[in-house]
Structure 1
Amino acid sequence: MKKAILLLSILFLTASYSQEIKQIPQITVNGEGKVKVIPDQATIVVTVETKGNNAKDVKKENDQKMEAVLRFIKKMNLDPADYKTQRVSLNPQYDYEKKKHSYNATQTLEILLKDLSKYDELMDGLVDEGINRIDNVTFQSSKLAQHQSEARKLAIEEAKMKAEDYVSVLGQKIGRAMTISDNSQPFYPQPMYMAVKSMEMSDTKAPRETLAVGEINITANVTVSFILE
């Protein structure tokens, strides 16, 4: 009997405690922080593509062009860790009208360019050496982690400001934060699919400008619950 009474007492206290927790006045708000950044790097994906009727000849020609491309990249003094072969393929193509086989060979390079002032020189050289496909160019920041941290702080500040605005009308104040949820989506730089076209200039020595870098947005989103005082 004593055990039963003790058990009922514990259940009653637990229920009372849970009810008390639920009755704590609070406000829940969302906050967003956004940092606009001028990119200082670009990831460039380019391809050498060759076609022909003989698989061996097509692959040989493709390899020779890629060798020339890699020699040029080395002359640009890029860090070997900043460029890599992304994929290699040799595929048969069948022409149903002519009833003949042909072959298509591709090699794709991914290049991290850490100095955007070299962009035009790099792209011109790549095309001259055999690159015939620019798959995409993605602009990014070398200080992404720092900017993400700043965006998170701005998100918290906005959430606090919202909460203060709401409760000020009621003559109350916000207390400490009870919960903080990070709702931010992973940041993936958006690729720019480009066909680079330079303007004709009367003065061939004039600097070329084929790149409009613009800005990228780094955002953070949070949900915060504050106690009301």
Structure 2
Amino acid sequence: MKKAVVFLSLMFMTLSYGQEIKPIPQITVSGEGKVKVVPDQATITATVENKGNVAKEVKKINDEQMDAVLKLIKKMNLAPSDYRTQRVALNPQYDYEKKKTTYNATQTIEIIVRDLNKYDELMEGLVSQGINRIDNVVFQSSKLAQYESEARKLAMKEAKHKAEDYVSVLGQKIGKAITINDNSQAYYPQPVYARFKTMGAMESDSAVKETLAVGEITITANVSVNFVLE
């Protein structure tokens, strides 16, 4: 009896492996969605930097200038959560020719400006209060998640439209999606290096000048989709 069961099992397995596996007709296409938006906020990264022969004095000067910068930011009513110290450093620098050590103190602050109408006033104020290095300015959108969702939908629509174009020539239709791969790269806004007037120019210019041209930023999504062919 056991031999008969084993024999029947082997026959079933042989028949199963002998059956031809038919490939599923399918098409793979890619799609891209782009949403262009005018940025409504900016992130400024700025640094106070001083050099000198005595570490304590250099740090003191740096701290005083940064204190003035922070008071300016508070005076402009920026939310406490919108600015933070990014890094602080006090480094010795040895000159081998002069056989002398000097000290370089830096403190970097990151500021989010949610109202771009304050941008020019803030930038000029930062420089006048001791900021001597604007590292970069990045323009962004406060509705990034919403625009990313729109870009993904546009990418899927383009993929479906592409597939329909291809198979329409063959008199076929596309069916359900088998797989969807998100090929989008993480969105990193491109930095815009802002121009700002020197101290002398700011003191001599009584008229307020606009220095900002933010333009547009592009939020992109990319997908590849496998559709069944009917």
1:107 aligns with 2:107: yes
Q: Is 1:209 paired with 2:210?
A: yes
Q: Which residue of 1 aligns with 2:117?
A: 117
In structure 2, what is the Cα distance between the partners aligned to 1:181 and 1:12? 36
The percentage of aligned residue pairs carrying the same residue is 68
**3-state SS of the aligned residue for 1:217?**
strand
Aligned residue type for 2:30: N
1:9 corresponds to which residue?
12
Aligned partner of residue 71 in structure 1, secondary structure: helix
The one-letter amino acid paired with 1:96 is Y
| Distance 1:173-1:103 versus aligned 2 partners, 3 A rule | same
Structure 1, 33-42 or 93-102: larger mean CA deviation: 93-102
In the alignment, residue 27 of structure 1 is paired with which amino acid? I
Please list every run of 5 or more consecutive structure 2 residues that lacks an aligned counterpart in the other structure.
Answer: none
- The residue number in structure 1 matching 2:33 is 33
Q: Structure 1 residues 14, 110: closer, same or farther in 2, change over 3 A?
A: farther
1:93 corresponds to: 93
Aligned AA (1:72) = L
How many Å apart are 1:14 and its aligned residue? 6.4
- Sort the Cα spacing of 1:169 and 1:69 in 2 relative to 1 into closer, same or farther, 3 A: same
| 2:171 partner amino acid | G
Q: Deviations over 1:182-203 (max 9, x none)?
A: 1111111122234424899x98
Q: Quick one: structure 1 residues 149 and 15, their matched pair in 2 at CA, closer, same or farther if it must change by over 3 Å?
A: farther
Q: What code does the residue aligned with 2:6 have?
A: K
Counterpart residue number, 2:223: 222
Q: Tell me how far apart the structure 2 counterparts of residues 190 and 15 of structure 1 sit (CA, whole Å).
A: 58
| Separation of aligned partners in 2, 1:40 and 1:50 | 33
More deviation, 174-183/27-36: 174-183
Q: Give, as a single letter, the amino acid of the residue that structure 1 aligns with 2:187.
A: F
Partner of 1:186: 186
Deviations 1:50-85 (A, max 9, x none): 111000000011001111100010000000000000
Spell out, residue by residue over 1:164-187, the C-alpha distance to the aligned partner (whole angstroms, 9 max, x if none).
Answer: 100111111111111111111111
TM-score by length of 2: 0.91
Contact 2:136/2:191 (CA < 8 Å) preserved in 1? yes
Check conservation: 2:43, 2:113, Cα contact below 8 A: yes
SS in 1 for 2:186: coil
Shift of 1:97: 2.2
Whether contact under 8 Å (2:195, 2:211) holds in the other structure is: no
What are structure 1's unaligned runs of at least 5 residues? none
Instruction: Tell me how far 1:204 sits from its aligned partner.
Output: 3.5
Q: Give the deviation of 1:12 after TM superposition.
A: 4.4
- Root-mean-square deviation (Å): 2.1
Q: How does 1:44-193 map to 2 (within 5 A)?
A: 44-193=44-193
The 1:59–1:11 alpha-carbon spacing in structure 2 relative to 1, beyond 3 Å, is farther
| C-alpha distance in structure 1 between counterparts of 2:15 and 2:130, whole Å | 80
Alpha-carbon deviation of 1:15? 7.0
Amino acid across the alignment from 1:162: K
Shift of 1:110: 0.3
Q: Is the 8 A contact 1:134 1:195 kept in 2?
A: no
